[in-house]
Structure 1
Amino acid sequence: MADSTLITLISLGVTLFFMLGTPVLLVIFYWVIGISFVIDLPLANTGNELINVFSKGFALLAMPLFILTGDLINQSGIARRLSDFAYSVLGWLRGGLAMASIAACGLFAAISGSNSATTATIGSMLHPEMVKGNYDERFSAATAAAGGTVGIIIPPSIIFIVYGFLLNLPISDLFVAGIIPGALMVLGMMTAAFIICTINGWGVLIGLSVSRMIKTGIGAWLGFFAIGLVLWGIYTGKFSPTEAAGVTVGFCVFVGLVSYPLNRLMGSASDVAVEQKSYASMFVVEGFTVPQIPSIVSRSAQISGILVPLIAVSVAMQQVMSSLGARDFIGEFVTGMGGYYAVLFTSMAIVFVTGMILESLPVTIILAPILAPIAASVGIDPIHFAVVFLVGASIGFVTPPYGLNLYVASGVTGVPYFRLLRYIVPYLIALIAVWFFVALVPETALAILPDR
């Protein structure tokens, strides 16, 4: 009884720390250390778990590399070219710039693999343009937050790498399985944006111009090439996800360093309108210089320095939870629901509720090793369940009270967090509808997998 009281007090204490703004890494670490003392679990076990994650996690090497890729394509100007192309294709529709923002999020995600990087990059670029284009600033900020959810679904995905590492699943198969669900999420959110903008009359329409689409398409060719390089290499097995990440970083560095002098030579400055650029100048992006590389790497390293230790302490948290019997309790609860659909929907409910208060990484690390074996035992394909699990986890990015993307969008746009909530609802409805469709139709995840 005394142990139960101490465990409860420690859990309440770290929850208070979390509510006061303590980083989730420290919250989990404090909880693991405190509970380990209570249940007499040697701290050496915790140390060994941390070391094992770093020493055996070769697949995790792809994560910092894809994070670096996101910063490189943003700094080089490739992200801006992708968003320009999306707007040239969709700008003639009501709500075209909002839909272009979501489409740009999908294109950016196909290179970066990060939700927060996607939200921050596209939000900072297109939020001012949407406000100038007669969109409500709250809606435009919510659009950037919602669009970022595909950052962990459309390959390459950082969270798919973590999931595959934990469950010993082929990361390349997980990447391919995320393509169609990610595209459906983009289409679902674009539909929601079109409906809301049509009802409110938001947006300034641009003419449908074939020459503009051709120019912006040429301007975005390096982004398309990077996307194709990653997907082709992984899909054909030419290189592993980690190797793909390294190749993409090398490609982005080369493009950035070569483009900078060529861009200056051609006089194709980034603030020149598309219509005023020559076709020749559209072939190169703004680029960057060698002295800028350390600051780019430093930004990426800061994010990696947060995520990788979080993975390590969350794995240690799994060990403590197993000692407490929490995994058995959750397992028995889900198993007791019944068969295939009962287990599937119960797992989805657990992921959704947990995602409201935790970031997707700890949700995945804590729950996936518990729920995935139960799902497999009732006949749910492991790859399909992984996609269902992670689509649900991605929705947590825009689900209050946590909603990481909402905080990121608020930070880059200056719109207060609570003012975004009303306008995130249509996107939440669209994402949940797509989530259930993916859950009920396994082919959405499995249809294009090799050897299926």
Structure 2
Amino acid sequence: MAFGFLLLALLAVLLAGVPIAYAIGGLAMVGNQWFGATSFARLAETQFSSINSFVVMAIPFFILAGNIMLKGQMARSLFDFMSALTRWMTGGVAIGATGACALFGSLTGSSAAAAAALSPVVIPELTRLGYPRPFACGLMAAGGTLGIMIPPSVVFVVYGALTSTSVADLFLAGVIPGLFLAGLLALCCYVQARRHGYGTPQPFVVQEVWRTFKAAIPSLLMPVIVLGGIYSGLFTPTEAAAISVVYAVLATRFLYRTLAFSDLPGIFVESARSAAVVLIILAASLGIGLLASFLGVAEDLATWLQGLNLSAWQFLLAVNLLLLVLGCFFDGFTLLVLLTPLLLPSIKALDINLVHFCIILTANIEIASITPPVGFNLFVISSTTRVRIAEVARGVVPFVLAMLIGLFILTYVPGLSLALL
């Protein structure tokens, strides 16, 4: 009961606009002192030791690599190649844009980075070809979310740290669900283009495909090197993150020639700020977990669930409904770090595979990032294109519906998440 009141206080503070790091960190400090759970010194030691790990080191490296690729404009070559492949189809350029989102997501591991990198390239091209601007904006907002499902993903690294799950297994599990969701978004593009007559199919030109493919080779090689190195045993996910930084610098500086060495200090500073925010929130959430453990929240929750006699499928349905509602008001990272420690005992009690649950949670986070009123990707697209947020929200509705269908299938067909393990 006491912990429930603290959570209600936290929700009120977050809705009032207090930054998540301050809100969760403040609750961890006040709650642990109020109930005598631990001392300030032990709380600090626990938080530091939890984030002072080799696995967590991957987070700042992936963030830095994503910012380098964003600054180096690697997204354009991917879009040119994918649109050359698909422009002969009904809705072909939009389908190609979806493929570009999936490919760029495999480079960055960030939803916002994929949306921000591709929208200035894709949206003008789609509108030039006759696609409505709300449709183009909605597609980029939804397509950007693929960056946190298709490995490497920062969400997977954080979840792995919170649950002691193998990050390599999570990366492998995200491949098929990521491609599956990309396919649903592409199908949504095809249906809308066919129904409303969006765009005009263009001739398939082999020479154009070959030209754009050669230009995209450096970008296409990056996920092969990073993921291939992980699963061949050449390096760990953290080492892969560091290698992705080196590769991104070399590709953007010497192959694409879109990055100058003078750009790097600014990128380093911005990446350090972003990584610091993520790590502070992660440490704060671990403080919440310590408080919850002291108050016996896990045992109380398990007892309550046993009294409801929920089966695994009913529990997952309830969790999805909860996450979809909370996703309208909170960003995905808040949902990840706040709810994962609380749900973990129930997941284990119901014998739900932790890797499968990560895919379900990530799909919910994807939907949260494009759900009004606080969907982060909606604001990213609005700010990068100067399109009103209401227009972006209107265009994203069909893609939200497609992703809801994908969430349902991923929840109850665990084979899609576990096939490669």
DSSP 3-state at the match of 2:257: coil
Give the direction of change, closer, same or farther, for the CA distance of 1:107–1:126 in structure 2 (3 Å limit).
same
Tell me what 1:82 maps to.
78
Shift of 1:115: 0.8
DSSP 3-state at the match of 1:60: coil
Tell me what 1:399 maps to.
371
Shift of 1:13: 6.3
Q: Distance in 2 between matches of 1:348 and 1:337?
A: 18
DSSP 3-state at the match of 2:203: coil
Q: Distance in 1 between matches of 2:279 and 2:93?
A: 35
Q: Deviations over 1:232-264 (max 9, x none)?
A: 1112222110011111111121223323xxxxx
Q: Distance in 1 between matches of 2:300 and 2:205?
A: 60
Give the direction of change, closer, same or farther, for the CA distance of 1:373–1:235 in structure 2 (3 Å limit).
farther
Tell me what 1:293 maps to.
264
Of 431-440 and 106-115, deviating more is 431-440
DSSP 3-state at the match of 1:59: coil
Of 415-424 and 322-331, deviating more is 322-331
Q: What fraction of aligned residue pairs are identical, expressed as a percent?
A: 28
Give the direction of change, closer, same or farther, for the CA distance of 1:329–1:85 in structure 2 (3 Å limit).
farther
Q: Distance in 2 between matches of 1:50 and 1:294?
A: 29
Q: Distance in 2 between matches of 1:37 and 1:379?
A: 34
Q: Distance in 2 between matches of 1:21 and 1:242?
A: 33
Counterpart pick for 2:56 among 52, 60, 80:
60
Tell me what 1:267 maps to.
none
Contact 1:311 1:362 in 2 (8 A): no
Q: Deviations over 1:418-449 (max 9, x none)?
A: 33222222111111111221222222111122
Residues 211-250 of structure 1 correspond to what in structure 2 (within 5 A)?
A: 211-250=207-246
- Kindly provide the amino acid, as one letter, of the partner of residue 180 in structure 1: I
Tell me what 1:146 maps to.
142
Tell me what 2:281 maps to.
310
Residues 106-117 of structure 1 correspond to what in structure 2 (within 5 A)?
A: 106-117=102-113
DSSP 3-state at the match of 1:207: coil
Counterpart pick for 1:442 among 407, 414, 417:
414
Tell me what 1:390 maps to.
362
DSSP 3-state at the match of 1:58: coil
Shift of 1:24: 1.7
Does 1:209 find its partner at 2:180?
Answer: no
- Kindly provide the amino acid, as one letter, of the partner of residue 48 in structure 1: E
Shift of 1:167: 1.2
Counterpart pick for 1:412 among 381, 384, 392:
384
Q: Distance in 1 between matches of 2:376 and 2:304?
A: 29
Give the direction of change, closer, same or farther, for the CA distance of 1:167–1:18 in structure 2 (3 Å limit).
closer
- Kindly provide the amino acid, as one letter, of the partner of residue 183 in structure 2: L
Contact 2:253 2:259 in 1 (8 A): yes
Tell me what 1:50 maps to.
47
Residues 27-426 of structure 1 correspond to what in structure 2 (within 5 A)?
A: 27-41=23-37, 42-55=39-52, 57-259=53-255, 285-335=256-306, 336-426=308-398
Q: Distance in 1 between matches of 2:274 and 2:200?
A: 36
- Kindly provide the amino acid, as one letter, of the partner of residue 295 in structure 1: G
Shift of 1:81: 0.5
Contact 1:372 1:385 in 2 (8 A): no
Contact 1:82 1:104 in 2 (8 A): yes
Contact 2:298 2:345 in 1 (8 A): no
Give the direction of change, closer, same or farther, for the CA distance of 1:323–1:355 in structure 2 (3 Å limit).
farther
Shift of 1:73: 2.1
> Does 1 or 2 have the higher relative contact order (CA < 8 Å, sep 6+)?
2
Q: Distance in 1 between matches of 2:141 and 2:199?
A: 19
Contact 2:253 2:261 in 1 (8 A): yes
Give the direction of change, closer, same or farther, for the CA distance of 1:424–1:331 in structure 2 (3 Å limit).
farther
Q: Distance in 2 between matches of 1:411 and 1:139?
A: 16
TM-score (norm 1): 0.86
Gaps spanning 5+ residues in structure 2: where?
none
Tell me what 1:278 maps to.
none
Shift of 1:326: 4.3
DSSP 3-state at the match of 1:338: coil
TM-score (norm 2): 0.92
- Kindly provide the amino acid, as one letter, of the partner of residue 332 in structure 2: S
Q: Distance in 2 between matches of 1:377 and 1:327?
A: 11
Shift of 1:17: 4.5
Q: Distance in 2 between matches of 1:422 and 1:77?
A: 28
DSSP 3-state at the match of 2:55: helix
Q: Distance in 1 between matches of 2:55 and 2:165?
A: 11
DSSP 3-state at the match of 1:237: coil
